[in-house]
Amino acid sequence: MSTAVGAGAYLHHMQLLSSDPGRLAGFYADAMDMAARPIEGGWIAEGPGRQVLFAEGPDKGLGYAAFACRDTEGLAAIRARAETRGAAILSSPSPLFGAEAFGVRDPDGNLILFGMSGGEVRRPGLRAPLQHLTLATHDPEAIEAFYTGTLGFLTSDYVRNETGAVQTCWMRSNHEHHTLACFRHSRRGIDHHSYEAGDWALIKDWCDRMGDRRIRIIWGPGRHGPGNNIFIFIEDPDGNWIEISAELEVMRDRAPMDWPHEEHSLNSWGRGILRS
């Protein structure tokens, strides 16, 4: 099996920007079964295996996405690879990482951090660790080249249109089918971020939680083709899409697959939401 320098890194936390970060933190606390509290520079919401920070800025903005490594050797290898390929190494602004952490900017200007995990948040709540980030981009080929070439991620699958152009690309930095993906879109930034419940039965519990709170499920339950995962989507007050997923494919030794640019690829059970 091919191995990536970034293998073993996982999405540890994110910072979302908002014109009202306190309100957004409160929504995540209620909807996503987390505890919210103010911190220097904004807010944080924390749940089992998931941490999201909120700071002042434009709605639907990404402050940063932070990937944790399980050992210092892996972190050093990602940094060395990025430096060798000419990426500017930046300081990490995250309060959840230590001095060893660093950042890089991808071709769209998204700030991506790497550091060491301080351990999983332990508190009662429904299980669904933060699992992947999906970007909207004008140029999925450039995004793929950066994350695979500069950072050492591996490509898992593509969606291609009738001319063969890539519309969507899924990439991984560990054994899970994707920890980062990108859709061709008319804008740049976040498409959605996702939490992995792990088991289909827990999707029902999450659906019940949303129903109790009158939070509308905007897409799903459904099943993606790439990744083979079962999903639901909700939307936060700023318009960010939130996915809760289950049974995501664990990657073994297989080459990337090409999927047609059609609704069935994105949802084999029904309606698909195409971005382009």
Contact 198/180 with Cβ under 8 angstroms?
A: no
Contact 202/127 with Cβ under 8 angstroms?
A: yes
Any residues with CB less than 8 A from the CB of 100 and at least 6 apart, and which? 72, 75, 115, 116
Q: Cβ–Cβ contacts within 10 Å for residue 109, how many?
A: 9
> Residue 192: its pLDDT value, please?
98
- Confidence band for 7, pLDDT divided at 50, 70 and 90: low
First to last CA, the chain: 33
| Dihedral class, residue 221 (left if φ above 0, else alpha if ψ from -120 to 50, else beta) | beta
Contact 183/134 with Cβ under 8 angstroms?
A: yes
- Confidence band for 118, pLDDT divided at 50, 70 and 90: confident
Q: What is the pLDDT of residues 201-239, one digit of tens each?
A: 999 999 999 999 999 999 999 999 999 999 999 999 999
Q: What is the pLDDT of residues 242-267, one digit of tens each?
A: 999 999 999 988 999 999 999 999 99
Distance CA 38, CA 97 (A): 18
Contact 156/259 with Cβ under 8 angstroms?
A: no
Q: Is the pLDDT of residue 172 over 60?
A: yes
Residue limits of CATH 3.10.180.10 in the chain: 10-116, 130-266
Single pTM value for the model: 0.95
- Confidence band for 5, pLDDT divided at 50, 70 and 90: low
Distance CA 120, CA 236 (A): 24
Q: What is the pLDDT of residues 14-47, one digit of tens each?
A: 999 999 999 999 999 999 999 999 999 999 999 9
Output the six-digit token pair for 18.
């908002």
Topology of 130-266 in CATH?
2,3-Dihydroxybiphenyl 1,2-Dioxygenase; domain 1 (3.10.180)
Mean pLDDT within 88-96: 97
Mean pLDDT within 164-184: 97
Q: What is the pLDDT of residues 229-246, one digit of tens each?
A: 999 999 999 999 999 999
Q: What percent of the chain has pLDDT over 90?
A: 92
Residue 140 CA neighbour count, 13 Å, CB half:
27
> To which H or E segment does residue 79 belong?
helix 72-84
> Residue 201: its pLDDT value, please?
95
Closest CA to 179 of 66, 85, 84: 66
> Residue 2: its pLDDT value, please?
45
Kindly report the CA angle at 172 between 170 and 177, in degrees rounded to 5? 70
- Confidence band for 4, pLDDT divided at 50, 70 and 90: low
Contact 118/133 with Cβ under 8 angstroms?
A: no
Per-chain mean pLDDT for the chain: 95
Q: Is the pLDDT of residue 48 over 60?
A: yes
* CATH architecture of structural domain 10-116: Roll (3.10)
Name which residue leads in pLDDT, 124 or 176. 176
- Confidence band for 124, pLDDT divided at 50, 70 and 90: confident
Output the six-digit token pair for 202.
């827990």
Contact 148/224 with Cβ under 8 angstroms?
A: no
Closest CA to 240 of 66, 8, 31: 31
Distance CA 217, CA 210 (A): 7
